Structure 1
Amino acid sequence: MDNGVLFLTFLLAHFVAGAYSTTFTFTNKCNYTVWAGTLSGSGSPPLSQTGFQLNQGVSTSLAAPVGWSGRFWGRTHCSSDSAGKFKCATGDCGKGSIPCSGAGAIPPATLVEFTLGKNGGQDFYDTSLVDGYNLPFSVGPQGGTGNCRTSGCPSDLNAVCPPELQLTGSNGSIIGCKSACEAFGDPKYCCTGDYGSPTTCKPTNYSKIFKKACPLAYSYAYDDASSTFTCTGANYALTFCP
């Protein structure tokens, strides 16, 4: 094999290693518009869109490369002011625009988190209420092998949110449910300080409300056993208000 062929073989292998292998399809089944947000984890490239509008009944897809990690969420009650600054009442990323451009969700927000496998390895995914809740959100593998379960928080947690955790909109309606950590800043709710380990940070009355409403989602920082799922070689359907 001559040097030219060797070089082309190297380029092809490099391309395949960085190829886009997983498709995320977002669908809005809510009876209102949702603005999706995406944030890549450390060392992962941003996806082609870091924020986009999804009208009721609309779907759109994004491709992610091998080994990508990051999170997705929905923003609600969004509008632009007279100066063109975009802002949302829940899940806002603070950029003043529809793209989040490297910024995450301001709590409370329902999060879906992914770490995609490398070299045929497993994908890991979960739905997290550690930063609170703003709307129902589910994640369902399409194809793939292994214990590929649908996860998420399809329930209306706002309907059972305790008054002290409620985020209300301009008309007084409940539009989000804060985590106890955000609401009170107490280490026992935040799993910090003396509570910064699985042995010292346990479920609280507040996290139990979240877990009862959404048993497949993270209700607090160390809620791993029943909240993290795996699948190999799948694409994923992400649905707001499933």
Structure 2
Amino acid sequence: MDVGAYTSTFTITNNCAFTIWPATLTGGGTSQLPSTGFELTPKASFNLDVPPLWSGRFWARTHCSTDSHGRFTCATGDCGSHQVPCNGAGGTPPVSLVELSLAPNKEGLDFYDVSLVDGFNLAVSVAPEGCNTTSCPADVNRICPPNFAVKGSDGSVIACKSACLALEQPEYCCTGPFASADKCSPTPYSIVFKNQCPQAYSYAYDDRSSTFTCSGGANYHITFCP
């Protein structure tokens, strides 16, 4: 099989009114994408070629700056690399995630979702060409419970922790005795997220309404602040 024939183009667009720094992380021990982090000014887009069988995640970092020592850091989604590229490191929660697992060929199925399991920092959508869009279009920061809120230097809410991150209890993290779909159920906190973004994962076992599929080989559009 000519693997290159199935390469998908991912177009990442910043529809926010401010600059963001999207990032990528490849899972499964395979090679990282050609770019693991980049800057997007408002209305700008960036294209990435993604090979078949790729699995991983996209997210956006916000409120980023470079200090006097040249270290790049972000108030949300920071990956700890101190550079614009994340170089194989993931984003620090709370952060909104786009997660994908691509098919080996056009006869297979891609799986994709938007996840708030690690919390929320930006609204985001993922749209494969010819298939259903899924998104978290709402600004969850506006309704974030006060004890879950991450605030910026001006006191505004810039991210919202998940109940797992904020409370660190197994019933909210789907761990320990709650580590299965029949034991871990929605909580009042996850329902707050679900009401804002019905298509997005609100807790670990929120598969039924939050996992989407598309035929392999599709091109994808990921938009922040859709």
**TM-score category by the smaller chain?**
over 0.9
Match of 1:197 among 176, 180, 193: 180
Q: Secondary structure at the match of 1:70?
A: strand
Shift of 1:77: 0.1
1:186 aligns with 2:169: yes
TM-score normalised over the length of structure 2 = 0.97
Q: CA deviation at 1:20?
A: 5.5
1:240 aligns with 2:224: yes
CA contact (8 A) 1:20 1:63 kept: no
Tell me which amino acid in the other structure corresponds to 2:68.
S
Cα separation, 2, equivalents of 1:94 and 1:19: 35
| CA shift for structure 1 position 184 | 1.0
Any residues of structure 2 matched to 1:60-209 within 5 Å, and which? 60-120=46-106, 121-143=108-130, 148-209=131-192
Structure 2 residue 42 is the aligned partner of structure 1 residue 53: no
Q: Secondary structure at the match of 1:54?
A: coil
User: CA contact under 8 A between 1:116 and 1:123: conserved in structure 2?
Assistant: yes
Aligned length: 224
Aligned residues with identical type, % of pairs: 58
Asked if the contact 2:22–2:58 (Cα under 8 Å) also holds between the matched residues in 1, the reply is yes
Instruction: Identify which range, 42-51 or 178-187, moves more after superposition.
Output: 42-51
User: 1:106-148 deviations in whole A, cap 9, x for unaligned?
Assistant: 00000000000113201000000000000111001113xxxx2
Secondary structure of residue in 2 paired with 1:167: strand
Q: CA deviation at 1:18?
A: 5.3
SS at structure 1 position matched to 2:165: helix
1:17-62 superposed Cα distances (whole Å, 9 cap, x missing partner): 3556111100101000010010001143211100000000101100
Q: Distance in 2 between matches of 1:104 and 1:194?
A: 27
Gaps of 5+ in 1: 1-12
| In 2: Cα distance, 1:229 partner to 1:23 partner | 18
Q: Secondary structure at the match of 1:53?
A: coil
CA contact (8 A) 2:6 2:105 kept: no
1:171 alignment partner AA: D
Task: Quote the Cα distance in structure 1 between the aligned partners of 2:51 and 2:222.
Answer: 17
Contact kept in structure 2, 1:165 and 1:180, CA below 8 Å: yes
Greater gyration radius? 1
Partner of 1:134, secondary structure, is coil
TM norm structure 1: 0.90
Change (3 A) 1:20 1:78: farther
Gaps of 5+ in 2: none
Letter in 2 for 1:176: A
Question: Cα 1:129–1:20, aligned 2, differ >3 Å: closer, same or farther?
Answer: same
Answer yes or no: is the 8 Å Cα contact 1:33–1:55 preserved in 2. Answer: yes
Q: 1:53-111, CA deviations, whole angstroms, 9 ceiling, x for partnerless residues?
A: 00001011001111111100000000000000000000000110000000001000000
